Chains A and B, each alone.
Chain A
Amino acid sequence: MKSCAKVLKNIHKLLEEDPSIPICQALKAHLQGCEACARYYKELANVVELCRAFPEEPVSEEHKDKLKHFLQKELKRDRSKRS
Chain B
Amino acid sequence: MLLSDEELVRRYKQGDDQAFDTIYERYYPPLMRFMTRMCGNTEDAQETLQDAFLSIFQYLGDFRGESSLKNWMYKVAARACWKSKAKENKTIPLRTDPRARHPSGETHPGHEGAVVSNGVPGWGQNPERGASNEELRRHIRRGVASMPYIYRIVLNLRDFEGFSTREVSQILGIKESTAKVRLHRARSYLREWLKEEFLSPE
Q: Which B residues are closer than 8 A to A by beta carbons?
A: 20-21, 24, 28-29, 32-33, 36, 42, 46, 49-50, 53-54, 57-58, 102-104, 106, 108-109, 111, 117, 119-123, 133, 136-137, 140, 155, 159-160, 162, 165, 180, 183-184, 187-188, 190-191, 194-195
Contacts and interface: CB of A to CB of B under 8 A. Distances in A.
Given A36-B117, A37-B103, A40-B103, A48 B159 contact: yes
Given A36-B102, A46-B119, A51 B49 contact: no
Given A50-B123, A68-B24, A12 B183 contact: yes
A59 B120 contact: no
Given A5-B111, A12-B180, A75-B58, A47 B191 contact: yes
Interface of A: 4-5, 8, 12, 15-16, 35-37, 39-40, 42-44, 46-57, 59-60, 63-64, 67-68, 70-72, 74-75, 78
Contact of A36 (B29, B33, B103): B103
B49 A12 contact: no
Given A51-B160, A75-B58, A46 B33 contact: no
A16 B176 CA distance: 12
A54 B52 CA distance: 24
Nearest to A39: B103
A74 to B, nearest CB: 6
10 closest cross-chain pairs (CB), A and B: A36-B104, A51-B159, A12-B184, A36-B103, A40-B103, A46-B120, A43-B120, A5-B108, A59-B32, A47-B191
B33 A56 contact: yes
A79 to B, nearest CB: 9
A19 B183 CA distance: 18
A47 B120 contact: yes
B122 A16 contact: no
A16 B111 contact: no
A16 B165 contact: yes
A71 B191 CA distance: 39
B117 A67 contact: no
A47 B11 CA distance: 41
A42 B119 CA distance: 8
A54 B158 CA distance: 13
Contacts of A35: 104
A60 B28 CA distance: 10
Nearest to A72: B20
Contacts of A4: 102, 104, 106, 108
A54 B183 CA distance: 17
Contacts of A71: 24, 53-54, 57
